[in-house]
């Protein structure tokens, strides 16, 4: 059945593959800075810009209507973790710029933030897939799931720069192939 929670779980498959790329990348002494920039772009425009937008604009508000609190409990935790993830991405971005300017020690901070993001999102996705989405499946009616799915598909049609979701997935797959993950 094609429902909203399955759409979000499908995004997670690709985000987890990107996380595997990041885990592999942090082992490199001489990273390809273009790959780091690509990861930042994918996170900001796909993982955060599309996936988290679906959750924050539509999914979490739908759960609030079902009695889930935005201030405590699973929805509040997911929102808090989205903010933490954005902070890690800012750390990656800020430090890769320093690294590009020849400040070699900044690479350690790039990798620390990449590792932090990877650990946070791995745990975050497990909580969503195994707990929050299952609660949502029980709380939302079929019609509500279908309505949310239509909203998600609308967000997916509004990718920046005319890109498509498949463009991000292709970029993730290319990186995964390069890093053998």
- List the chain pLDDT tens, one digit each, 181 residues: 579 999 999 999 999 999 999 999 999 888 899 999 999 999 999 999 999 999 999 999 999 999 999 899 999 999 999 999 999 999 999 999 999 999 999 999 999 999 999 999 999 999 999 999 999 999 999 999 999 999 999 999 988 778 999 999 999 999 999 999 9
**Alpha-carbon distance 48 to 29, whole Å?**
28
Query: From the CB of residue 51, how many other CB atoms can be counted at a distance below 10 Å?
Result: 24
Could you state, in order of their start, the residue ranges of all structural domains in the chain?
A: 4-178
- 165's CB contacts (< 8 A; 6+ apart) are 46, 50, 156, 159
The confidence score (pLDDT) of residue 162 equals 84
Cα dihedral across residues 33, 30, 95, 89: positive or negative: positive
pLDDT at 1: 54
pTM for the structure as a whole: 0.95
Supply 81's token pair.
Answer: 């973790």
HSE-up of residue 112 (Cα within 13 Å, Cβ side): 9
For residue 89, the model assigns a pLDDT of 98
Class of CATH domain 4-178: mainly alpha
């Amino acid at each position: 059945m094609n429902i909203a929670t399955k759409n979000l779980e499908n995004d997670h498959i690709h985000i987890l593959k990107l996380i595997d790329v990041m885990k592999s990348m942090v082992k490199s002494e001489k990273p390809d800075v273009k790959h780091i920039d690509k990861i930042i772009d994918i996170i900001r425009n796909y993982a955060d810009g599309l996936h988290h937008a679906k959750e924050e604009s539509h999914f979490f508000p739908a759960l609030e209507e079902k009695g889930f609190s935005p201030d405590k409990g699973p929805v509040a935790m997911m929102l808090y973790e989205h903010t933490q993830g954005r902070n890690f991405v800012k750390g990656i971005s800020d430090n890769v710029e320093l690294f590009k300017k020849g400040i070699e020690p900044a690479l350690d901070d790039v990798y620390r933030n990449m590792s932090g993001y990877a650990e946070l999102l791995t745990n975050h996705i497990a909580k969503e897939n195994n707990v929050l989405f299952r609660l949502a499946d029980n709380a939302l009616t079929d019609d509500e799931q279908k309505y949310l799915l239509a909203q998600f598909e609308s967000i997916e049609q509004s990718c920046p720069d005319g890109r498509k979701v498949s463009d991000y997935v292709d970029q993730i797959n290319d990186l995964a192939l390069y890093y053998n993950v």
